[in-house]
Amino acid sequence: MKNLVLLISGRGSNLQSILQAEREAAWGVCVRGVISNRADAAGLDVARAFGVPTQVIAHADFPNREAFDQALAEVIAALEPDVIALCGFMRVLGAAFVDRFAGRLVNIHPSLLPAFTGLRTHARALEEGVKWHGATVHLVSSALDHGPILAQAAVPVLDADTAETLAARVLLEEHRIYPPAVRALLEGRVQIDGLRTRIRPASDSPL
């Protein structure tokens, strides 16, 4: 059985979408744990509601990024993960961490990468006047928000949009595209060629 570990910093709605999908479709994976870098993350309650073990590794307890990354890596490694899914995990992970778990680290980002890496993606999309915005699931590389793309979904930007209404429309798409991408990675259905990926359909897919 494959092992899944999920990292959060806050609300945990993407975490919920993955745990829900895993439960409904019986992926046959072991969800080894949810780790938060903040003790007050609401997503910890989401994990508990699904009976998933939680741990808090507070970045504020460490003198620098390297020390935090090292402690986080040791805890994760002990869970023997096949996939580590970042679900709104808001700390930049250093190269040593990323290299250690290369190919197993997956992230969801609230923009159509490579546009709008970093923070405030919805506000910046509005400022730039783009007509389409969206979300991206990608493998994590040591370049921030720039790894092989597994899935994307676009939404139109509407005249009346605020950053909040746009974020809400994108979030629905995040919840739709992230679980199947995580599942594909767990099931070894992702073929990577540079920054391009191909995903074979699941065995129970109607395709």
Among residues 63, 7, 14, 66, which one has the least CA distance to residue 37?
7
201 contact partners, CB below 8 Å, separation of at least 6: 189, 207
By the 10 Å C-beta count (0-12 exposed, 13-18 middle, 19+ buried), 191 is classed as exposed
Applying CB under 6 A, does 10 fall inside the site for ligand GAR?
Answer: yes
Is position 138 an interface residue for ligand GAR (rule: CB under 6 A)? Answer: no
Minimal CB distance to ligand GAR: which residue?
88
Is 109 in the active site? yes
Cβ proximity of 21 and 48 under 8 Å: no
Which stretch in 3-11, 24-32, 67-75, 146-154 sits in contact with ligand GAR by CB under 6 A?
Answer: 3-11
Contact stretch for ligand GAR (CB under 6 A) within 20-28, 76-84, 104-112, 192-200: 104-112
What are phi and psi for residue 53, nearest 5 degrees?
A: -60, 140
For the bound state, the minimum distance from the C-beta of residue 41 to ligand GAR, rounded and expressed in Å, comes to 8
Looking at 12-20, 61-69, 156-164, 198-206, which segment touches ligand GAR (CB under 6 A)?
12-20
CB of 154 closer than 8 Å to CB of 133:
yes
In the set 33, 43, 134, 180, which binds ligand GAR (CB under 6 A)? 43
**CA Rg value for the chain:** 17
Closest distance to ligand GAR from the beta carbon of 97 (Å) = 15
Report, as residue numbers or ranges, the catalytic residues. 109
What are the residues binding ligand GAR (CB under 6 A)?
A: 8, 10-14, 43, 87-88, 108-110, 171, 174
